[in-house]
A and B are shown apart, each in its own frame.
Chain A
């Protein structure tokens, strides 16, 4: 599996750290305990396209949102997150 980092280009998955499901919005700090339980523990766990966070930990250290197929491991799309994300494509 290879992931194309928007900053560094196509790299081996070994350079990236998996950071989990990106489909769940983070609850507000004063949200109910039940809302937090759902966000922390409940997962859709799809067999197919899945939005997830990865960090290019052994490269530029950017946080990425990756659309990936969990059945085929095909990378369907990569978006740069964080303060530099507005510069993608410059």
Chain B
């Protein structure tokens, strides 16, 4: 597959854009692979890419039930940040940020990573204190953070209602200037193309319906809608479907609940919001896509769901928060809303680990922070699969931390997944 470059752009433009080749092959499953990744989302594709690039393991298949880009990687609000407090999270997400910063060049694919800043608003002096603490923790971990006054915020986001008679007046905020957004589909397509170019088979419309095991109980492959496929190792990265896929291997209980998260996009507009803003007295995050739509979301609906659609109370909640922040957006029309299924873990932090069965590896528990983690998740999962042991960056993201007591509860909400 040819490199994308300014010359390939010009050459194809001059020939009417009729000569572009598909970005990855439509592979037919082989009888056996060294590694099978179940789930062709962002994390699964990134895992295959880094297995090939960092560990030289190219006899890899990525099995996707539907089509690449049709799941959560195409359903999120595209925000990338690393403004975490707890050490395990801040080091992991900062590594992800560093991978994001070089990703377009690394993949030879423009993922449109835009470091336009992520601003968290504070609405009380106590919240300013908490943000000062978080910002200090971030800086100690080598991550950029700037505490902003109300006047700084007003200059940074001119449309924002910072008036003292707002329902929740803005006191200031915490900005991560290196945060921003990326084009989510391009991330999936770029990792798919990058993996394919290194020999990985990306097999779409191939649902895993069972696991193959030998006499010792070791996983030796998968049964799919396109036949049995043997494997030396099987990695599972299926987000909201984790419980369903692992139940096929006889694992009936996990520290995960599946919940629905809705997202929204307005009609396309001329540029009016050049950063990512999150509301601090409720839960709303908003940015403007390069196509012009305002992309925003809020809380999960808050009950177990596999429906990929939510209910109206969250629509009302998100709309009212949006107008609280930006009264001038009240005349905009909502273009679309949709839902994705989140694998909400019991402490709000992910799981990237060997096991839980011999020959199996698990990547899950992303709650609704999975998109920003895509590069580091794939990088760490590839390491874990290749070396049969976690990297330092994901050593804390075990499955047994819930039994050992070493939970990573960033929000301090306890084992209540719909509150994370």
Q: Is A30 an interface residue (CB 8 A)?
A: no
Residues of chain B at interface, number, CB under 8 A: 25
Contact residues, A45-74 vs B (CB, 8 A): 45-47, 50, 52, 68, 70-73
A52 near B303 with CB under 8 A, answer yes
A45 near B311 with CB under 8 A, answer no
A50 and B304 in contact, given A37-B402, A41-B402 (Cβ under 8 angstroms):
yes
One of B63-71, B144-152, B253-261, B367-375 contacting the partner: B253-261
B418 near A45 with CB under 8 A, answer no
B346: nearest chain-A partner, CB-CB: A41
B313: nearest chain-A partner, CB-CB: A14
A79 to chain B, nearest CB (A): 17
Interface SS of B by simple majority: mixed
A12 near B307 with CB under 8 A, answer no
Chain B residue numbers with a CB within 8 Å of A34 are 403
Chain A residue numbers with a CB within 8 Å of B243 are 43-47
Instruction: Tell me the complex Cα distance, A41–B417, Å.
Output: 10
Chain A residue numbers with a CB within 8 Å of B316 are 14
Interface string of B236-272 (1 = CB under 8 A from A): 0000000110000000111111100000000000000
B350 to chain A, nearest CB (A): 15
A43 and B254 in contact, given A18-B418, A20-B416 (Cβ under 8 angstroms):
yes
Q: Is A13 an interface residue (CB 8 A)?
A: yes
A43 near B403 with CB under 8 A, answer no
A70 near B254 with CB under 8 A, answer no
Contact residues, B69-110 vs A (CB, 8 A): none
B253 near A70 with CB under 8 A, answer no
Q: Which of A1, A20, A45 has the most CB of B within 10 A?
A: A45
A40: nearest chain-B partner, CB-CB: B415
Q: Is B305 an interface residue (CB 8 A)?
A: yes
Instruction: Tell me the complex Cα distance, A18–B301, Å.
Output: 10
B314 to chain A, nearest CB (A): 9
A38: nearest chain-B partner, CB-CB: B253
A18 and B302 in contact, given A41-B346, A44-B253, A45-B257 (Cβ under 8 angstroms):
yes
Chain B residue numbers with a CB within 8 Å of A37 are 402-403
Q: Is A90 an interface residue (CB 8 A)?
A: no
Q: Is A42 an interface residue (CB 8 A)?
A: yes
A37: nearest chain-B partner, CB-CB: B403
Q: Which of A13, A68, A70 has the most CB of B within 10 A?
A: A70
B258 near A70 with CB under 8 A, answer yes
Contact residues, A1-24 vs B (CB, 8 A): 1, 12-14, 18, 20-21
A12: nearest chain-B partner, CB-CB: B313
B303 near A41 with CB under 8 A, answer no
